[in-house]
């Protein structure tokens, strides 16, 4: 009996210590701490052309969200956007990893085609939206699918932890079309599943779909569930949230945002 | 920390728990049928490894080496995304069953082979000198002993097989891990989702661990000596 009590108390002590350790984090992610460290850690997409894309030829990130990250760093470290390029450390994220990485302090800001929703606002802070996109469908040309009505009974591949599934369900319910879903972690894996015929439709925001279109696929006419992308920061980190929001509203106000969008054909 | 202990999040988990149970069902089906295939293949190739006809052990070797030396993830991706390009489409559930079945079959074949080899050669020679054929030697002398030796490592393989079914999540195979990722991701409640997945796998595997320990204990016990009447009757 004594033995068991001792075992239990050791276990309890160990878990308390573990919790205490994880609880210690989070103090260091204020604006001053980032300025002191001299590096802004940004979570971005690495597989979405024109938004966040790791160019394999140059091994550098490029896209609208990458340029926004440089502008935020410029404000943070009080330098030009060009100089700020040295001070941003990018981490490739996907829909599943971006939340936890933000929560545990691995990254300071997420700029990764992150749709703003009321539910998500309870977990993270979002900036003013910098881009509005709509969901669409990508199908194989030889699949026999030509219009929305053909989707009945088909399998739709969507990204895990994305808003796409709900948006598609709602959109198709109005048309009395029922489909099943398969969720994947990355866009390339959804594309492979489409090409290999494991799914019939690849559905995500059209801006992202366009970077996966090739000569075997085509984009259906459907356009629905317009959604806003925002920069996300940790819920507790109000100071950084305000700074990020200020940069984005400034960029929209003085036309820099439009210039960047034009650069990536996103208008 | 507040996120881990948020009552709202745990309540939502219990509300959506049917998703996890659906995943548990898939995992169980894949694990059980996968285990059947693995056992059948393992015993077949394990016995083939010890056969004297030269070509058969070779075939067993090729099977074992091929499946042991490539990652399960690669094999499963091949079944799921590779085979369709040559016109063969396997349903996800079958990919899971075949995936863990073929993979662990190779490991079980090794367990069976080493179990057979662990039976002292003298016993085989003794039996052969009494006129036993190869199949009789196996059936009466070797395999009954092999069974006892191999049971603990076999249950260990079964446990690993259960855990390895989680590879299905990567090809949207609707198992525990798939639903955990889906639920955690869609709600942003990662602590609750992944902890529950871990717990469900634990519930499946813990009894197997206990079984392994018990079988190991049993295997150590030497059977009590049978009473022999001073060897007198043998002379009669």
Q: What is the pLDDT of residue A26?
A: 44
Chain A contacts of B84, Cβ < 8 Å?
A: 196-198
- What is the Cα–Cα distance from B80 to B172, expressed in whole angstroms? 10
Q: Is B165 left (phi over 0), alpha (psi -120 to 50) or beta?
A: alpha
Q: What is the pLDDT of residue A190?
A: 93
Q: Is A227 left (phi over 0), alpha (psi -120 to 50) or beta?
A: beta
CB contact under 8 A, B181 and A161: yes
Chain B contacts of A236, Cβ < 8 Å?
A: none
CB contact under 8 A, A120 and B188: yes
Examine the pLDDT at A17 and tell me if it is beyond 70.
no
Q: What is the pLDDT of residue B61?
A: 95
The pLDDT-based confidence of A8 (bands split at 50, 70, 90) is: low
Q: What is the pLDDT of residue B87?
A: 87
Tally of CA atoms within 13 A in the half-sphere of A177 that contains its CB = 17
Over chain B (236 residues), the average pLDDT of each successive run of 10 is 78 89 95 96 93 90 96 95 90 95 97 93 92 89 88 92 94 93 85 93 93 84 66 49
Q: Full-prediction pTM beyond 0.90?
A: no
- What is the Cα–Cα distance from A61 to A109, expressed in whole angstroms? 16
pLDDT in tens, A85-94: 999 999 999 8
Q: What is the pLDDT of residue B190?
A: 87
What average pLDDT does the structure give for chain A?
Answer: 88
Q: Taking Cα atoms as reference points, which of B114, B112, B109, B134 lies closest to residue B124?
A: B134
pLDDT in tens, A189-232: 999 999 999 999 999 998 889 888 889 999 999 999 998 999 99
Kindly state whether A182 is in contact with chain B, defined as any CB-CB distance less than 8 angstroms. Answer: yes
Q: Which two tokens stand for residue B94?
A: 């079958």
Q: What is the pLDDT of residue B216?
A: 83
Q: Which residue has the tokens 């299905």?
A: B168
CB contact under 8 A, B1 and A185: no
Q: Which two tokens stand for residue B125?
A: 């020679």
Q: Which two tokens stand for residue A150?
A: 């053909």
The pLDDT-based confidence of A14 (bands split at 50, 70, 90) is: low
pLDDT in tens, A168-181: 999 999 899 999 99
Examine the pLDDT at A35 and tell me if it is beyond 60.
yes
Report ipTM for this prediction: 0.72
Examine the pLDDT at A243 and tell me if it is beyond 90.
yes
Residue A253: Cβ-neighbour burial (10 angstroms; 0-12, 13-18, 19+) = exposed
The Cα-based distances of A190 to A98, A138, A160, A259 in angstroms read 18, 11, 10, 31
CB contact under 8 A, A96 and B188: no
B85, B184, B190 member nearest A196 (Cβ): B85
pLDDT in tens, A44-100: 999 888 899 999 999 999 999 999 999 999 999 999 989 999 999 999 998 889 999
Q: How near does any CA of chain A get to the CA of B219, in Å?
A: 28
The pLDDT-based confidence of A150 (bands split at 50, 70, 90) is: very high
Q: Taking Cα atoms as reference points, which of A203, A238, A234, A237 lies closest to residue A217?
A: A203
- Looking at domain B7-220, which CATH architecture does it have? Orthogonal Bundle (1.10)
CB contact under 8 A, A198 and B81: yes
* Contacts of A51 by beta carbon, 8 Å cutoff, 6+ apart: A45, A63, A64, A65, A112, A113, A207, A208, A264
**Which string of DSSP letters, residue by residue, matches A126-163?**
E-S--EEEEEEEEEEGGGS--SGGGGTT-EEEEETTSS
């Amino acid at each position: 009996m004594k033995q068991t009590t001792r075992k239990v108390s050791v276990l309890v002590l160990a878990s308390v210590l573990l919790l205490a350790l994880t609880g210690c984090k989070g103090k260091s992610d204020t604006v001053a701490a980032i300025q002191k460290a001299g590096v802004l850690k940004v979570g971005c997409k690495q597989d979405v052309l024109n938004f966040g894309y790791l160019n394999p030829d140059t091994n550098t990130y490029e896209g609208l969200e990458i340029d926004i990250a440089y502008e935020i760093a410029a404000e943070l470290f009080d330098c030009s956007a060009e100089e700020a390029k040295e001070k941003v450390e990018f981490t490739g994220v996907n829909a599943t990893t971006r939340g936890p990485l933000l929560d545990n302090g691995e990254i300071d800001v997420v700029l990764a085609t992150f749709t703003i929703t009321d539910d998500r606002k309870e977990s993270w802070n979002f900036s003013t939206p910098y881009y509005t996109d709509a969901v669409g469908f990508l199908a194989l040309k030889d699949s026999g699918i030509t219009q929305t009505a053909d989707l009945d009974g088909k399998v739709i591949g969507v990204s895990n932890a994305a808003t796409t599934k709900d948006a598609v369900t709602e959109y198709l319910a109005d048309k009395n079309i029922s489909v099943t879903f398969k969720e994947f972690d990355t866009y390339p894996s959804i594309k492979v599943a489409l090409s290999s015929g494991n799914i019939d439709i690849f559905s995500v925001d059209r801006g992202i779909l366009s970077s996966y279109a090739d000569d075997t696929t085509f984009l259906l006419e459907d356009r629905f569930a317009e959604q806003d992308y925002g920069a996300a920061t940790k819920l507790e980190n109000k100071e950084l949230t305000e700074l990020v929001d200020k940069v984005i509203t400034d960029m929209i106000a003085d036309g820099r945002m439009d210039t960047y969008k034009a650069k990536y054909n996103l208008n | 920390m507040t996120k881990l202990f948020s009552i709202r999040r745990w309540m939502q988990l219990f509300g959506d728990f049917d998703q996890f149970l659906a995943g548990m069902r898939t995992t169980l089906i894949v694990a059980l049928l996968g285990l059947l295939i693995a056992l059948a293949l393992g015993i077949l190739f394990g016995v083939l490894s010890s056969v004297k006809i030269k070509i058969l052990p070779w075939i067993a070797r090729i099977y074992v080496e091929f499946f042991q030396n490539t990652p399960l993830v690669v094999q499963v991706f091949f079944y799921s995304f590779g085979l369709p390009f040559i016109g063969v489409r396997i349903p996800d559930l079958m990919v899971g069953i075949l995936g863990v079945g073929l993979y662990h079959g190779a490991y079980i074949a090794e367990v069976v082979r080493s179990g057979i080899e662990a039976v002292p050669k003298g016993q085989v020679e003794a039996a052969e000198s009494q006129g036993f054929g190869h199949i009789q030697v196996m059936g009466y002398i070797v395999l009954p002993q092999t069974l006892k030796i191999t049971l603990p490592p076999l249950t260990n393989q079964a446990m690993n097989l259960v855990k390895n079914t989680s590879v299905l999540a990567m090809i949207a195979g609707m198992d525990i891990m798939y639903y955990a990722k889906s639920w955690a991701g869609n709600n942003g409640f990662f602590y609750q989702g992944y902890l529950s997945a871990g717990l469900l796998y634990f519930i499946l595997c813990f009894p197997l661990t206990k079984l392994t320990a018990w079988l190991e204990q049993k295997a150590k016990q030497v059977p009590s000596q049978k009473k022999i009447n001073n060897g007198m009757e043998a002379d009669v």
